[in-house]
Amino acid sequence: MGKISRKVDILHAASKVVSEKGIFNLTLDATAKEAGISKGGLLYHYPSKEALVQGMVEHLANNYREKISNNAESDPVDKGKWVRAYVDVTFNQAYQNKDMHYGLLAAKAVSSNSLDPIRELYSDWQYKIEDDGIDPIKATIIRLATDGIWLSELFDIYHIEKDKKKAVYEKLREWANE
């Protein structure tokens, strides 16, 4: 197993700890145990809890950056391509391991700066969405609606029924094409 995949395995283990046991039970010991490695092995890759959480956030941010960018670049219609890419990835191509999103919750608990990679990403996306050839306010509303569904599910506040979620997705896509 390569260094990169070992690091990702550790990030998945950390996110599973947060998902199953809560943010405040995320420790280096618990993560090492979940990953099936020694604490020393974990410390080799992530020398502190802050570094581990930062790794979770950066990994998630890079994954979404790549997916949204690839979708936008492969969209044959220039107008609205960033909005459509954002909606498509958030609704249909989210990070495979849903637990990884809990890294964002851990980051907020550990340190405000830990969320900087996501903040920078959102700032970049917002600029691209507003400069996408459709009304910038409409584009922002589409992004916010998309985020609202994602966040309500992340926080386990409300899971919109499957058919309604599909209808919302289709309506947001329709608006991104107008």
Checking 121-125 for CB contacts under 8 A at 24+ apart, the result is 121/61, 121/64, 121/65, 125/68, 125/82, 125/86
What SS3 class is residue 35?
Answer: helix
Q: How far apart are CA 102 and CA 23, in angstroms?
A: 8
pTM for the whole structure: 0.85
Q: For residue 29, what pLDDT is reported?
A: 95
Q: For residue 133, what pLDDT is reported?
A: 95
* Residue spans of the chain under pLDDT 50: 1
Residue 163's CB is within 10 A of a number of other CB atoms, namely: 8
Q: What is the pLDDT of residues 17-68, one digit of tens each?
A: 988 898 889 999 999 999 999 999 999 999 999 999 999 889 888 999 999 9
CATH topology of domain 3-176: Tetracycline Repressor; domain 2 (1.10.357)
Residue 107's CB is within 10 A of a number of other CB atoms, namely: 24
Q: Which residues, other chains included, contact 22 with Cβ-Cβ below 8 Å and sequence gap of 6+?
A: none
Q: For residue 95, what pLDDT is reported?
A: 62
> What Å distances lie between residue 54 and 6, 99, 100, 108, 173, CA to CA?
16, 15, 12, 10, 32
Q: For residue 70, what pLDDT is reported?
A: 96
Chain centroid to CA 138:
23
Q: For residue 35, what pLDDT is reported?
A: 95
Q: For residue 1, what pLDDT is reported?
A: 47
Q: For residue 34, what pLDDT is reported?
A: 94
